[in-house]
């Protein structure tokens, strides 16, 4: 990454950080783009060079997010049981979203259009993780690895769907860990 790209990324992150701090302190509805720009020490025009809307600050993925997730996959030892790796990846991804996932969840519930805007990232992550699982699978019989992948997504979906509005993000992470552990108990007995 050259100096210009690093500066652009730093500006993008500064705007997001300022916005999330304002949302946490004042509430999403009461904060406007001008306040975000002022807190990030950029102009309104600069804000719109990086984000299409106030909602985009919450939903757009960090430009390096995909590479970070790929690195998480690559860091899993090839000798580690697949379920253990999938659990670490699912927990790692969700932990990375701690600063915005509760707000994303609330906004998606209020607006189906916003919910659709996160689909691209989810599809991209699923495709990357599927390719990674295929690379770890037995070429003669990939079914056990693909089953584990789908179970990991199901466990994550169950944790998210059962996350009550009165629960905190750490409560959600505990629920996710529990879902993955419960699912893994059945997977672990079957082996990789």
Q: What is the pLDDT of residue 28?
A: 87
Tokens of 71: 């690195």
Segment 8-21, tens digit of pLDDT: 999 999 999 999 89
- Are the beta carbons of 69 and 131 closer than 8 angstroms? no
pTM for this prediction: 0.79
Domain ranges for the chain: 3-59, 65-190
Domain 3-59: homologous superfamily in CATH: Homeodomain-like (1.10.10.60)
Per-residue DSSP letter, 52: S
Positions of the chain with pLDDT under 70 = 111-118, 187-192
Side-chain half-sphere CA neighbours of 181 within 13 A? 6
Domains 3-59 and 65-190 share a fold: no
The CATH topology of domain 65-190 is Tetracycline Repressor; domain 2 (1.10.357)
């Amino acid at each position: 990454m050259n100096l210009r790209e690093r500066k652009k990324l730093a500006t993008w992150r500064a705007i997001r950080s300022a916005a999330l701090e304002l949302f946490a302190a004042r509430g999403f509805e009461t904060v406007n783009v001008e306040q975000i720009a002022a807190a990030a020490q950029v102009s309104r025009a600069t804000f719109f060079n990086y984000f299409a809307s106030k909602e985009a600050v919450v939903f757009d993925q960090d430009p390096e997010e995909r590479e970070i997730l790929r690195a998480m996959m690559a860091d899993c030892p090839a000798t580690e049981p697949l379920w253990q790796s999938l659990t670490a990846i699912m927990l790692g991804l969700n932990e990375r979203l701690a600063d915005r996932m509760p707000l994303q969840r609330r906004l998606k519930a209020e607006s189906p259009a916003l919910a659709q805007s996160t689909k691209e990232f989810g599809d991209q992550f699923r495709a990357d993780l599927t390719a990674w699982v295929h690379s770890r699978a037995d070429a003669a019989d990939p079914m056990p690895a693909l089953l584990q992948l789908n179970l990991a997504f199901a466990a994550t979906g169950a944790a998210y769907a059962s996350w009550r509005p009165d629960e905190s993000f750490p409560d959600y992470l505990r629920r996710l860990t529990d879902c993955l552990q419960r699912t893994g108990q059945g997977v672990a007995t079957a082996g990789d």
